[in-house]
A = this chain, B = another copy of it.
Amino acid sequence: MSITSDLIRGHTETIILASLMHGDSYGYQINKEILRKTDNQFELKEATLYSAFRRLEQANLILSYWGNENVGARRRYYAITDAGKKAYMQNLKEWEETKNIINSLIILD
């Protein structure tokens, strides 16, 4: 896990929103997807993931419902709301701007 928690801080919610832009999903799956997408370089810690879910739902950026699995462990599915989609777009824009700012500050001339 080369990525440090302070560098990821502030991106957790956007990462979750981005994942849900592809369709409804649940915690475990979202994290596995993150692992896959980053070639096992990164995953969210469970406590981080679930506290982010709570914040996002509180802010009405996502909503949740229990899946109707009749076998295996229960799953709580999450769906992104319209407000969530807007927030995602906004966060993406901010990321592009922040990226430029950081680049200009830490890369030497």
Cα–Cα distance between A22 and B34 once the two chains are bound (Å): 38
**Cβ–Cβ contact A105 & B2, under 8 A:** no
Residues of B within 8 A of A6 (CB): 9-10
A2 touches B91 (CB 8 A): no
Number of copies: 2
Q: Which residues of B contact A11 (CB under 8 A)?
A: 7, 102, 105-106
**Segment 72-109 of A: residues with Cβ below 8 Å from B:** 91-92, 94-95, 97-99, 101-102, 104-108
Query: Out of B14, B37, B99, B107, which one reaches A104, CB within 8 Å?
Result: B37
Q: How far is the CB of A97 from chain B (nearest CB, A)?
A: 6
Is A7's CB under 8 angstroms from B98's CB? Answer: yes
**Beta-carbon contact of A7 and B95 below 8 Å:** yes
Interface residues of A (CB under 8 A from B): 2-11, 14-15, 18-19, 21-22, 34, 37-38, 41-42, 91-92, 94-95, 97-99, 101-102, 104-108
13 contacts between A and B (CB under 8 A): A2-B94, A3-B98, A7-B10, A7-B94, A8-B98, A8-B101, A11-B105, A15-B102, A15-B105, A18-B107, A34-B105, A37-B105, A95-B106
